[in-house]
Chain A
């Protein structure tokens, strides 16, 4: 039978060598920043966008000479890894960046489940962690090392309800309104539904929920679900979905000839890919989001111009959020004046980024570590036009409600 042979020893030795590969020597003349993003797998689309914007922001900072840390200009050395949309790998790689690459800070991934899995790691080692891609409130407030630039998804749903209420108050929609609520079976979807449900509970005279359904990601056929929507006869159709599902569902919705006074797919709607896939079927859909290129701030206009020059397309919300995450981290390191993790952490906690491109123009973090910023609401108009309709002060066009039949 088998005996311990030289090959076993060789294999073990080879394996031991393999284990040590990757533990880089730590030098302190650069700022090591790690990032773990889903570049392949289910979340690859937005993961890829986060990568693009994160690398863009880092390059911009380095091209300008780096970050001024206590009088010394240091460049950022970014190590960006792919977790293949797998939560366990996400946590493992985050840990590896901290332990083996000895990074000074970690930029978190995209997607609530992945970020949840990562977010338990920083506490163990005392390394600041800032994510630009997870708005699930369960992530924050558990560790003082974890920060996020994406406002809670529940608030996104609430903003939409505020917007609808404003339309009712303006006489464009007539209360009481029946809401058909449909959402993907993920944490994102759950938080969205929670936001709507809570708002409806406090406004029982104006709203009622007549349908509350969830669906598995990437469903092959939305007819059964939309059949239920048809039966429910709601006035408002509120859905929360990934881009792929939004496209498939809205196509079926249009083919089935469904009609609601207002239609939203949560944060989806303004996406260029959605426009390309749906054409006129996206008209009048309203969407709320963390950012829009239509925000009338000078810094947003400047960002749009330089982004378009560098990447050829207009920036989307995910680009903006990833970009601001890097900027917030850089500003905090500058403010901390050292690469000491605790100094960076407390700098993030107290920072106020006054020229932020995000809604409200000021980025700061709440006590629980998440940024609480206002949301924007946009509405698609015919011929590919898009208008910012909320917050009211910044609107670029009037909201159209109800949707013309």
Chain B
């Protein structure tokens, strides 16, 4: 009895961890753009969809493995993001800290155009990628997990670590973090806002592309694909506090644990799972307006006061 309980616990923990990797990647793209430019990128879902299709095209035309394809997809989408910024940037950068509602609609327009592009090129048919390892699985601590999920997790961790190093070690990264934390102060001290914004938008788009590429190795997709992931990503960045890589990762983990835990330990119908995560989003916003990092900061302050 005990061992089955233990087994179940391990399986919930492991599956949550694997899911969290993917969730963090797709949410991080939104977070970095929000952090630097204070805009909600509705085109995120469209870019994820495009990432999936580009990976699909690489796979079918040139037989490039979806995970190796990331090496092409990531820089390609970075450039795509910078291009988008160059085209539309002057409307996207909001003055001050207020989010610009225009940018929201502008990016919604971009999403629609991306969708139509995909319909024209790839039609509305369901596409998918089948590799030699798609259906394979491996055993970790007595739990069978799919190989693609493991690869997705590893790729997510690798890209997030890479990004974290970039943010912490380089001038560029420091500038991005400075703008995120205190925009006005950073601008006053001479950071080139336009350049930083362009790069942040590029990074955000690259991460959306990476997330789309990874999703394409897990599931089937159509040009309409991405909507439910967009909403999940909102949930995560709100939980994670929209500011740091670790915060987003923590938000993703909380959501994944909640989803897997609810299914394993309660009898809440799975169809209500999404309602639970959106309710969680709402509660989190109200109780912790600054997300998990805000909570940590409160603890830290208390400890310092003692």
Contacts and interface: CB of A to CB of B under 8 A. Distances in A.
Interface of A: 39-42, 44-45, 47-48, 85, 185, 213-216, 218-221, 223-225, 227-228, 243-244, 247-248, 251-252, 254-257, 273, 276-281
A48 B259 CA distance: 34
7 contacts: A42-B224, A48-B125, A214-B271, A228-B263, A247-B220, A276-B128, A276-B130
A314 B129 CA distance: 21
B234 to A, nearest CB: 14
Interface stretch (B62-70, B79-87, B95-103, B133-141): B133-141
Contacts of A276: 128, 130
A219 B19 CA distance: 12
Nearest to B139: A257
From B146, B149, B224, B229, name the one whose CB has the most chain A CB atoms within 10 angstroms.
B224
A221 B259 contact: yes
Contacts of A273: 125-128, 220
A277 B220 contact: yes
A182 B149 CA distance: 23
Contacts, number: 129
Interface string B212-239: 0001001111111101110010000000
Contact of B219 (A47, A48, A227, A247): A247
B124 interface: yes
A278 B148 CA distance: 13
A223 B19 contact: yes
Contacts of B246: none
A255 B149 contact: yes
Interface string B114-158: 011001000111111110001111000000111111000000000
Contacts of B144: 255-257
A255 B147 contact: yes
A45 B125 contact: yes
Contacts of B220: 243-244, 247-248, 273, 277
B269 to A, nearest CB: 6
Interface in B219-269: 219-225, 227-229, 232, 259-260, 262-264, 269
A227 B265 CA distance: 11
B128 A247 contact: yes
Contacts of B221: 244
Nearest to A256: B144
Given A40-B224, A227-B11, 14 more contacts: A45-B126, A48-B124, A215-B270, A215-B271, A215-B273, A220-B228, A227-B263, A228-B263, A244-B219, A244-B225, A255-B145, A255-B149, A273-B220, A278-B135
B127 to A, nearest CB: 8
A195 B232 CA distance: 33
A40 B130 contact: no
Nearest to A44: B124
Contacts of A252: 146
A40 B124 contact: yes
B25 interface: no
A185 B124 contact: no
B197 interface: no
Interface in B42-62: none
4 shortest interchain CB distances as A-B pairs: A255-B146, A224-B263, A44-B124, A277-B128
Given A44-B223, A185-B271, A216-B228, A247 B126 contact: yes
B184 interface: no
B67 to A, nearest CB: 16
B274 interface: yes
B15 interface: yes
B108 to A, nearest CB: 15
A257 B135 CA distance: 10
A48 to B, nearest CB: 4
Contacts of B271: 185, 213-216
A348 B71 CA distance: 59
Nearest to B14: A223
From B115, B124, B135, B273, name the one whose CB has the most chain A CB atoms within 10 angstroms.
B124
Contact of A248 (B127, B218, B229, B274): B218
Contacts of B259: 221, 224
A273 B146 CA distance: 21
Contacts of B15: 223-224, 227
Given A255-B136, A273-B126, A44 B270 contact: no
Contacts of B222: 44-45, 244
Given A185-B271, A256-B144, A279 B263 contact: no
Contact of B130 (A41, A47, A218, A278): A278
Contacts of A39: 124
Given A213-B271, A224-B264, A280 B135 contact: yes
B137 A248 contact: no
Contacts of A228: 263-264, 270
Contacts of B123: 48
Contacts of B127: 273
Contacts of B219: 220, 244, 247-248, 251
A208 B163 CA distance: 52
A315 to B, nearest CB: 15
Contacts of A279: 130, 134-135
Contacts of B22: 220
Contact of B134 (A85, A251, A256): A251
A300 to B, nearest CB: 24
A242 to B, nearest CB: 9
Contacts of B116: 40
A255 B135 contact: yes
Given A243-B220, A247-B220, A225 B263 contact: yes
B152 to A, nearest CB: 11
A228 B232 CA distance: 22
Interface string B19-41: 10010000000000000000000
Contacts of B130: 276-279
B260 A224 contact: yes
